[in-house]
Structure 1
Amino acid sequence: MTGLDRRSFLGRGLTTAGGVLASGIAVQTLGAHASWADAGRPAADPGAAGYGPLRRTPSKNTGEELLALPAGFSYVVLGKTGTPMTDGVPTPIAHDGMAAFPGTRRHTVRLIRNHEVRTPPGSPTGRVHVPGSQRYDELGVAGTTTLEVDLRTGEVLRHFVSLSGTIVNCAGGMMLHRRGWLTCEETTAGPKQGWQRKHGYIFQVPLDGPEPGRPAASMPLTAMGRFSHEAIAVDPRTGYVYETEDDSGKPDGFYRFRPHDARDLSAGGVLEMLKVQGVDNYDCREGQKMGARLPVEWVVIDDPDPDLENGAQTCTQQGLAKGGAKFNRLEGCWYGDGGIFFNSTSGGDAKNGDAPNADGFREGYGQVWQLVPGRGQRGDTLVLVYESPGRKELDSPDNLTFTPRGGIVLCEDDASSADADPHPLAPGLTNVNRLIGLAPGGQPFEFAVNISDDSEFAGACFSPDGSVMFVNNLGSTVELDPPGRTYAIRGPWRRGPL
């Protein structure tokens, strides 16, 4: 089988196993959840709808109690910050967005993992760096690492830097046909902040090519926009790339990139921002009704790579000037059931108590949106499928993923400073982060609790065969402690909705 044929075959297999066919169940789950919440029902027992009560659980390979999980589930720790990798580089800090691909051998999986390093230019602390490699910015501190994992044993067979020369690599998403990973910079910093080059771009990490000691060349896809990127999702029907923006304290936009060549994003394309038809600057952040269908149009961003150092308008300003819709802290993004699901981490009417943003908006506990691309004469529509009524149900959803069985997992990133969020399984921690599942009946439930530190969960994804969920704890973005960790969780998934 040729390399191209093999990639196409694996892509089709992952599409089937990874949730596209099963995602109709996920959509039903979100729809049921919206109806349940809209009816004002009280919160159910957080374990009753899922896999039962959680308990502090030691790691099978380190013995440390780092997670609380339901009975029957176990985990191992992979790729902890500081662990020497195959290429001789210590595992970097700040483990963030991630995706799982079929491995190069049977019973293996390949993980491509972001590192949201926020240290100063050229800092050696936890840096993603391979001397002599082709990198965009010689002072860049962030990038991606790749791990090959044996699914049967949990052993890391090899791990290495797969892209460097970037900064603040937060989340991203799979490329069309699962050919690799698109990693996003969550910043617009540049030479005025001490970097050699402008930042705020998306970069490609091909599945095939990077090897230990030989990362992919980091070349920015400038036509896809220069803004504070968070995550992306690709519509496999059109090749359009949908992009979320997370610029804290300001209104954010939801973007669409229409490439000239869906298989070659470097060939350019058209960047657009979502606009609700007939309403300029529609405010999606609050006052919304779950289930309502909002007709959508798109406004073109005329200058997708603005010279911000010399006063050019940002992509957000350009889009809002044409009537683009306002969101707050757009983060996780996932394609399923013919639509794009994305999280607004701090949207919603139930407020978390933090100080208002610059324009007076007070942050909420989070929203989940769905963009439904139109077909034929039917235009695109936007639907609010869930809004959190409070921190116990869901507090600050960040990354999201669909499971191979049609369930939904939301990674919490509780950044509120006003509303303390302790947990009985994590004594001593003030703001505790969880993995929240959504049951078919609509109830949210706790699946996992980070009991090691107060850093967020990120990068949840399943192995193509559905047997293992991989997820990160971010750790510190500027120091070695607390460390970033990747977990491989295994258990009786079919006993519950995930």
Structure 2
Amino acid sequence: MKSDRRKFITSAAAGISSASIALTLGKFNHLNAQQTNQSDNKSPYGPLKPTADLTSGLSLLMLPEGFSYQTFGWTGEAMSDGRRTPSSHDGMGIIENRDGIFTLCRNHERGGLRDSFAAAQHTYDSKAPGGTTNLVFDGNAGKFISSRASLSGTVRNCAGGVTPWGTWLTCEETTVGTEETSEPQHAKTHGWIFEVPANGQGNPKPLKAMGRFVHEAIAVDPETSFVYETEDRGTSGLYRFRPNKAQRLHDGGTLEMLRVPGHPDLSKGVKAGAIYGDLEWVKIDDPELAHTPETDNSLGVYMQGRKKGGTNFNRLEGIWYYGGSMFFDSTSGGEAKAGQIWELNITENTLRLVFESPSKEVLNMPDNMAVSSRGGIIICEDCGITTVQSPQGIKRYFPRLHALSPEGEIHVFADNNAKIETPYKGIKGDFRGSEWTGAHFSPDGKWLFANIQTPGFTVAITGPWGKGYL
């Protein structure tokens, strides 16, 4: 397919609707020239201020003037199926849009030996507490409708991604299992991807051909059904799964690792704007091999790719399909180890470093990411409280929700302000150091959904998006 200089993305990057966004690729080529310290740039949305939650009345977020939000899906809340909402909210996406009634699937990054929170028919390992919940939100009325457990018996469901055929792929960020060296030791192996439909009837059968490793996120090319997978380790690869049958991942396929010829390591030492071509993909012969022989190092898949020339990155996390390209981030990549954002152009078979954070003050450890209907990229930070020494003294930053414009400017769109001094739903404490997760936009661009992982709640943000690029 011939490459177009103006690129488009379907809503939620999963073919949910045909709505497109006008993000100009040419403008993104200028990102590299502007990535000096941009923390003082003025956001088109204005400065942040404490903003009260319409549900609880608590000022849980810092937002620009004119924006409002509501919370739902708090940890411990009763769900519509009578079960309690699990903790540790993480990756999330819209997998169904029924005329503005959205079904979201939300991950819960829980580990250890604890009971499944879902029904037996939707449980993989009865002593594994991770999984997913499905939530329904009426975008027309601005109202949360229902929630239910959709899959459990998994471990550390960190991120994942939506598919063009209306499902959620949830990923385990671990390789614990039945091995004697596994801590803890489970009844079943872990480190897999599972598929969850909008009706909440999650299939507890792992997609083993997609690999057993420390998964983070996925994104799907709607043209081919190829699934691109990230790996969250200090030594990590970018993977591609080619299914035997389009939209039928349980029918198996081939797992491959990206090889950038002549460049075995792109975790640092890369000039902003650098473009690499003639990309190759090397086959992973045994995608179920979690560890290298006689170890428990979680590098079984990675080392197979490396031995064939696969390229190394530093902690790959968020990934998003965008009109012929995969945008993904390296959480600890770059000279400052504060993060890189890459573009894998599928149509041109090139890889480009789009943005590198020059300091933790500008952007610190990008994680989940998504593209808005107006052309900006929303980026979650996964860094805890950031302390920076400046000429004015020590500055402390709580985890932020960043906005990256098509012109290359980066702004803080929201801050975590969740300090709950009076118990709410049995929750009390200072949670301002907790990470943002699962950020993504509704197909109409009206709503931004995201999570604060701890204590665990989901937010739906709306406001004058037209003032800027989100």
The interval holding the TM-score normalised by the smaller chain is 0.7 to 0.9
State the alpha-carbon separation in 1 of the partners of residues 206 and 283 from structure 2. 20
Closer, same or farther in 2 for the Cα pair 1:435/1:94, shift >3 Å? same
State the alpha-carbon separation in 2 of the partners of residues 57 and 235 from structure 1. 38
Shift of the alpha carbon at 1:44? 5.7
Q: Does 1:234 align with 2:220?
A: yes
Could you tell me whether the CA contact under 8 Å between 1:333 and 1:400 is conserved in 2? yes
**One-letter code of the match for 2:300?**
T
State the alpha-carbon separation in 2 of the partners of residues 474 and 367 from structure 1. 23
Closer, same or farther in 2 for the Cα pair 1:240/1:414, shift >3 Å? same
Q: Can you give the 5+ residue segments of structure 2 that lack an aligned partner in the other structure?
A: 1-9, 419-431
Could you tell me whether the CA contact under 8 Å between 1:145 and 1:163 is conserved in 2? yes
Shift of the alpha carbon at 1:129? 1.1
Instruction: Tell me the residue number matched to 1:203.
Output: 194
State the alpha-carbon separation in 2 of the partners of residues 440 and 10 from structure 1. 18
Q: Does 1:244 align with 2:230?
A: yes
Closer, same or farther in 2 for the Cα pair 1:439/1:420, shift >3 Å? same
> Residue by residue, what CA displacement relative to the aligned partner does 1:122-152 show, whole Å, maximum 9, x if unpaired?
25xxxx5134334211112011001111224
State the alpha-carbon separation in 2 of the partners of residues 297 and 66 from structure 1. 46
State the alpha-carbon separation in 1 of the partners of residues 408 and 202 from structure 2. 42
* Alignment map for 1:387-406 (pairs within 5 Å): 387-406=356-375
Could you tell me whether the CA contact under 8 Å between 2:16 and 2:97 is conserved in 1? no
SS at match of 1:315: helix
State the alpha-carbon separation in 2 of the partners of residues 129 and 43 from structure 1. 44
**One-letter code of the match for 1:65?**
S
Instruction: Tell me the residue number matched to 1:469.
Output: 448
* Alignment map for 1:78-89 (pairs within 5 Å): 78-89=72-83
Q: Which runs of 4+ in 1 moved over 4 A?
A: 8-13, 428-431
Shift of the alpha carbon at 1:103? 4.1
Shift of the alpha carbon at 1:311? 3.2
Shift of the alpha carbon at 1:181? 0.5
Q: Does 1:184 align with 2:171?
A: yes
Closer, same or farther in 2 for the Cα pair 1:434/1:9, shift >3 Å? closer
Moved more, 312-321 or 53-62: 312-321
* Alignment map for 1:255-294 (pairs within 5 Å): 255-279=239-263, 282-294=264-276
Instruction: Tell me the residue number matched to 1:434.
Output: 400
Q: Does 1:109 align with 2:96?
A: no
State the alpha-carbon separation in 2 of the partners of residues 437 and 10 from structure 1. 17
Query: More strand per residue: 1 or 2?
Result: 2
Instruction: Tell me the residue number matched to 2:38.
Output: 43
Shift of the alpha carbon at 1:222? 0.3
Could you tell me whether the CA contact under 8 Å between 1:394 and 1:412 is conserved in 2? yes
Q: Does 1:372 align with 2:345?
A: yes
Q: Does 1:454 align with 2:433?
A: yes
Instruction: Tell me the residue number matched to 2:5.
Output: none
Instruction: Tell me the residue number matched to 2:155.
Output: 167
SS at match of 1:14: coil
State the alpha-carbon separation in 2 of the partners of residues 339 and 259 from structure 1. 19
Instruction: Tell me the residue number matched to 1:357.
Output: none
SS at match of 1:262: coil
Q: Does 1:491 align with 2:463?
A: yes
Shift of the alpha carbon at 1:13? 7.0
State the alpha-carbon separation in 2 of the partners of residues 10 and 254 from structure 1. 21
State the alpha-carbon separation in 1 of the partners of residues 256 and 12 from structure 2. 31
Computed over aligned residues only, the root mean square deviation of the Cα atoms, in angstroms, reads: 2.5
> Residue by residue, what CA displacement relative to the aligned partner does 1:181-237 show, whole Å, maximum 9, x if unpaired?
101000011023221100001100012x32xxxx42311000000000000011111
- Alignment equivalent of 1:321, drawn from 304, 307, 330: 307
Shift of the alpha carbon at 1:23? 5.4
Closer, same or farther in 2 for the Cα pair 1:131/1:237, shift >3 Å? closer
**One-letter code of the match for 1:304?**
P
Closer, same or farther in 2 for the Cα pair 1:258/1:107, shift >3 Å? closer
* TM superposition score normalised by structure 2: 0.88
Q: Percent identity?
A: 43
Query: More helix per residue: 1 or 2?
Result: 1
SS at match of 1:342: strand
Instruction: Tell me the residue number matched to 2:91.
Output: 97
Closer, same or farther in 2 for the Cα pair 1:170/1:372, shift >3 Å? same
- Alignment equivalent of 2:137, drawn from 149, 153, 159: 149
Instruction: Tell me the residue number matched to 2:31.
Output: 33
Instruction: Tell me the residue number matched to 2:3.
Output: none
SS at match of 2:228: strand
Q: Can you give the 5+ residue segments of structure 1 that lack an aligned partner in the other structure?
A: 1-7, 351-363, 476-482
State the alpha-carbon separation in 1 of the partners of residues 395 and 73 from structure 2. 24
* TM superposition score normalised by structure 1: 0.83
State the alpha-carbon separation in 1 of the partners of residues 14 and 338 from structure 2. 36
Could you tell me whether the CA contact under 8 Å between 1:30 and 1:386 is conserved in 2? no
State the alpha-carbon separation in 1 of the partners of residues 135 and 304 from structure 2. 39
Closer, same or farther in 2 for the Cα pair 1:307/1:442, shift >3 Å? closer
Shift of the alpha carbon at 1:102? 3.8
Closer, same or farther in 2 for the Cα pair 1:133/1:371, shift >3 Å? same
